[in-house]
Structure 1
Amino acid sequence: MTDLDAFRTHVSQWCAEHVPADWRAAQTGVGDEEFVAFQKSWFAELHAAGFAVPHWPAAWGGGMPVAEQIVLYQELAAHDAPRLVLAFVGIHHAASTLLIAGTDAQRRRHLPAILDGEIWVQGFSEPEAGSDLASLRTSARREDDHYVVDGQKLWASGGAHADWCLLLARTDPDAPKRKGISYFLLDMATPGVDVRPIRNAIGDSHFCEVFLNDVVIPADHLIGAENAGWQVAQATLGAERGMTMLELAERLGNAGFRWLVEDCAHPRPDGSRPLDDASVRDALARFETELSGLRAMCRAVVERPDAGGPADPSIVKLFYSELLQRMTDFGTEIGGLDAHTVLAKPMSSGWESGAWMLDYIGSWEWTIPGGTSEIQRTIIGERGLGLPREPVTS
């Protein structure tokens, strides 16, 4: 047995002993307090096992080799472990920002706190500044040893539960729009911060809008240089690719596909099964083929990051989001009228829960945030295929 085989056996045994067998039922229809408590408890359990932040440097509690990280996420997906929904921004976006551009004091303050359960939210998008993020209008003006911030942020996932925020604000209104933005760490308990949950189409209030009214941020909470926030933000956004996409692809290829096959094998009221239909079997075969390709692409991106092209992360994101949409659409069709009567899904699940109609509606989120499918195609065309770039006005 190789060391990697031994590690897989270790993770598999740990999952068998620690993944709550009834967590999906227990997390369906729960309130915010139960959801937050469960998420923090599950994060603490993963952290105790050394599985919470394997991608961090060893000095901060990570250091797991890439090959082992792949095995870890494969086994967590195979055992249908809950996702770290609330910790996602903290362990990926905030951590990558701090490690790349933060000061030693900022890293010492926040990285251990994230491991202790500190929750983060991303304050990037605004009304009229979503896909065109550089058009943001939230302002930050310097006054002595602090900045005063005014503005509004939108689509702040998990904002109602967040302790800290990664905030972009304009510090030079006269500079070209990408050159006048600064990057801040905002304590969400600061006076003047008003968080308002937004109820979405499936009844969740995961998204929030954040209003900032004369909010004071100490100058030492600036990340990087003043007016250099756009460059720092690219590192933050880059953390959504790579290993996080591999985890999502493994989950879609495990529980998501398994439930789809099971539903196709389930008898209809007349005794027939969708699986008896050749067109249904063909569709499942296509999905399995596409899933195999997606999972292979994700492994290639994380195993050989220097061997790929600059458009690879966009290819993976586009492929995953549109495959997720097609699979959940197909699941809704197979589920028939019964799929339309499910009103709640597990709070700690991924984008595939088996509640097909809710999953399908939720899948549209993936083709919009983090760069719409149209933007991903532009990146693939320009950076991957070398097509002429669209003109940039500023």
Structure 2
Amino acid sequence: MKAAAPTLAEFRATVRDWCRDHVPPDWRRAQTGVPDDEFVRFQKEWFRTLRGPGFAVPHWPKEWGGGMPVAQQVVLYQELAAHDAPRLVLPFVSIHHAASTLLAAGTDAQRERHLPAILDGEIWCQGFSEPGAGSDMAALTTSARKDGDTYVVNGQKLWASGAMHADRCLLLARTDPGAPQRRGISYFLMDMRTPGIEVRPIRQATGESHFCEIFLDDVILPATDLVGPENEGWRVAQETLGAERGMTMLELAERLGNGGFRWLVELCARPGPLGTTPLDDPLVADRLAQFEIELTGLRALCAEFVADDRPGPADASIVKLYYSELLQRMTDFGTEIAGLSAHTQLRKPSSSGWESGAWVLDFIGSWEWTIPGGTSEIQRTIIGERGLGLPYEPRGNR
């Protein structure tokens, strides 16, 4: 007889017990100020630890190591956030963007080759943005010229997170320069060890070098690395961006609503030099109450979004916009309350999220979420046009 599935309460108890036994108790200290190789080692080890009980890729189909019901995924991310578990920072693109692209548009051979490799630790980055084509992704100029059974790629990519550690890259390149912008782009799975690729880390305001430039000089890609039909890469890219604006928000919302809010409350309850606390100010208490209301709405919105089999055309943009701007307001408020002393905290744990409690660094980092994957302005345009049915903006020859 087949065993009955655990209730949500039983599953929550299982996850709690697992977290108590497996979340490294001192990981924040151990991951602060570490060199890149130690960060990479820790991230890969933590991924293997999560993979054991099926917690690494619960959103994947069952045949590929996932299949967890959505209600259980919500519980899982709630408990990981409540127990302050490290984030999967390094495999983020691999398990979300690359996987969603392969599952939606890849061939059987591509899925069979790359999904097991991701589960074994293969790291991916994303090569979409360019110096002249950031939010306007359709304006990209990196070219891929067909040459027999290969494509010869030339160009430059920008803001490629973690590219210095990546084994593969989700690459967009123009294969038909004469076609309208969105109709002449193709999508490739590029091996980062291919000759002609140069990766240069970009030093950020925080002192980190999370983003990179990728220079492509006569890089030869086999035609088997093409995803979807030639010149249909724009459509395939929407699957990638949908992962960034959708499913990943569930985990991020739980982390912001749990640790992020808890640290903000603790900061406001900390006595100052005169013995009073910021929380004694009714305006501060009012702001915290407002944040709690917004966080409750965000978490409910994310849970509803991932549970919906047929989300609306603008739902993912609503979630992304809501999260990114709430994150920015909360970290801005934390920076204001923390005062000048926060400006001396120049390091944060490498495996944390955007709500580490290092307020100035968190606020600077929060701008990442209002720009990549479509700026807040672009999200509002999508919501207006696709969600509310407002007239479309003129787009020229696209």
| TM-score between the two structures when normalised by the length of structure 1 | 0.98
1:196 corresponds to: 200
2:60 corresponds to: 56
Q: For 1:157 and 1:305, how far apart are their aligned partners in 2?
A: 30
2:318 corresponds to: 315
Aligned-partner residue type, residue 297 of structure 1: L
Aligned-partner residue type, residue 376 of structure 2: S
Note if 1:336 corresponds to 2:339.
yes
2:385 corresponds to: 382
Note if 1:265 corresponds to 2:269.
yes
Q: For 1:8 and 1:29, how far apart are their aligned partners in 2?
A: 33
Q: For 1:283 and 1:2, how far apart are their aligned partners in 2?
A: 39
32, 39, 47: which one aligns with 1:35: 39
1:283 corresponds to: 287
Q: For 1:123 and 1:218, how far apart are their aligned partners in 2?
A: 17
Q: For 2:199 and 2:156, how far apart are their aligned partners in 1?
A: 10
Deviations 1:118-175 (A, max 9, x none): 0000001001111110110000111111111000000000000000001010111111
Shift of 1:238: 0.7
Shift of 1:97: 1.1
Q: For 1:377 and 1:219, how far apart are their aligned partners in 2?
A: 37
1:24 corresponds to: 28
Aligned-partner residue type, residue 314 of structure 1: S
- 1:212-231 matches, within 5 Å, as 212-231=216-235
Shift of 1:241: 2.9
Note if 1:181 corresponds to 2:185.
yes
Q: For 1:140 and 1:326, how far apart are their aligned partners in 2?
A: 41
> What is the DSSP-based 3-state SS (H/G/I as helix, E as strand, rest coil) of the residue aligned with 2:216?
strand
> What is the DSSP-based 3-state SS (H/G/I as helix, E as strand, rest coil) of the residue aligned with 1:178?
helix
Q: For 2:116 and 2:81, how far apart are their aligned partners in 1?
A: 26
91, 95, 104: which one aligns with 1:87: 91
1:168 corresponds to: 172
> What is the DSSP-based 3-state SS (H/G/I as helix, E as strand, rest coil) of the residue aligned with 2:84?
coil
Q: For 2:332 and 2:103, how far apart are their aligned partners in 1?
A: 39
Shift of 1:338: 1.0
2:153 corresponds to: 149
Deviations 1:76-123 (A, max 9, x none): 111111110110111111111111111111111111010010000000
Q: For 2:275 and 2:191, how far apart are their aligned partners in 1?
A: 58
> What is the DSSP-based 3-state SS (H/G/I as helix, E as strand, rest coil) of the residue aligned with 2:172?
strand
Q: For 1:226 and 1:379, how far apart are their aligned partners in 2?
A: 26
Note if 1:357 corresponds to 2:360.
yes
Q: Is the 8 A contact 2:184 2:232 kept in 1?
A: yes
Q: Is the 8 A contact 2:246 2:320 kept in 1?
A: no
Structure 1 unmatched runs, 5+:
none
322, 325, 328: which one aligns with 2:328: 325
> What is the DSSP-based 3-state SS (H/G/I as helix, E as strand, rest coil) of the residue aligned with 1:149?
strand
> What is the DSSP-based 3-state SS (H/G/I as helix, E as strand, rest coil) of the residue aligned with 1:240?
helix
> What is the DSSP-based 3-state SS (H/G/I as helix, E as strand, rest coil) of the residue aligned with 2:391?
coil
Shift of 1:2: 6.5
> What is the DSSP-based 3-state SS (H/G/I as helix, E as strand, rest coil) of the residue aligned with 2:160?
coil
Deviations 1:207-238 (A, max 9, x none): 00000001010111111111111111111111
| TM-score between the two structures when normalised by the length of structure 2 | 0.97
Q: For 2:116 and 2:305, how far apart are their aligned partners in 1?
A: 28
Shift of 1:243: 2.6
Structure 2 unmatched runs, 5+:
none
Runs of 4+ in 1 over 4 A off after TM superposition: none
1:98 corresponds to: 102
Q: For 1:240 and 1:135, how far apart are their aligned partners in 2?
A: 20
Please say which of residues 119-128 and 234-243 is displaced more in the overlay: 234-243
Q: For 1:136 and 1:295, how far apart are their aligned partners in 2?
A: 35
Aligned-partner residue type, residue 327 of structure 2: L
Query: What value does the CA root-mean-square deviation take over the aligned residues?
Result: 1.1
Q: For 1:87 and 1:257, how far apart are their aligned partners in 2?
A: 25
> What is the DSSP-based 3-state SS (H/G/I as helix, E as strand, rest coil) of the residue aligned with 1:334?
helix
